[in-house]
């Protein structure tokens, strides 16, 4: 898949996930610098990847999911970016984010590369969304061709509600 940033082509590293695939087991970093493997967490999940929490579209996206996920039962929402955990924690605090777990793949980039969201030229993650069932099977996957676009919020939330 080709991805662009303001119309300029970029290179994604890794293979993209499809419906039916298992989400890979990889450690990423919590805001307290501890490791976390999303697949070891219980329940269904919404996983979104964003270029940076501190940009307009990403800010709006995470805030929307923070509001929406509070209405869903047994669904945890994770946001992954390359932002340093300190910056993520500061942004979450100033934005009152309490229903979304914001995580970083800055250290190894293993997860981002394994799900095809790592942008080679920018060393950031592209905008993508996944809904996983309790067994970490992908039941919804969306990779946006333009990273400044918003995701399909209603489709993501409908997939999560139908688990």
Reduced DSSP (H G I as helix, E B as strand, rest coil) percent helix, strand, coil of the chain, to 5? 25, 30, 45
Just list the catalytic residues. Answer: 58
Joined together, the tokens standing for residue 25 give 């087991």
Cα–Cα distance, 66 to 70 (Å, whole number):
7
User: What number of other Cβ atoms are within 10 A of residue 113's Cβ?
Assistant: 19
DSSP 108-147: T-HHHHHTT-EETTTTEEPPEEEEE-TT-BEEEEEE-SBT
């Amino acid at each position: 898949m080709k991805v662009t940033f303001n119309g300029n082509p970029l290179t994604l590293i890794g293979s993209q996930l499809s419906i039916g695939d298992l989400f890979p087991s990889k450690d990423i970093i919590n805001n307290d610098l501890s490791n976390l493997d999303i697949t070891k967490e219980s329940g269904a999940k919404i996983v979104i990847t964003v270029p940076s929490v501190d940009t307009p579209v990403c800010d709006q996206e995470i805030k929307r999911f923070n509001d929406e996920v509070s209405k869903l039962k047994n669904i945890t929402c994770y946001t992954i970016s390359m932002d340093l955990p300190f910056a993520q924690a500061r942004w979450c605090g100033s934005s009152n984010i309490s229903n979304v777990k914001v995580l970083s793949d800055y250290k190894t980039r293993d997860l981002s590369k394994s799900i095809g969201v790592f942008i080679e030229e920018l060393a950031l993650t592209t905008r993508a969304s996944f809904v996983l069932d309790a067994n970490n099977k992908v039941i919804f996957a969306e990779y946006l061709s333009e990273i400044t676009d918003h995701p399909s919020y209603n489709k993501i939330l409908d997939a999560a509600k139908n688990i």
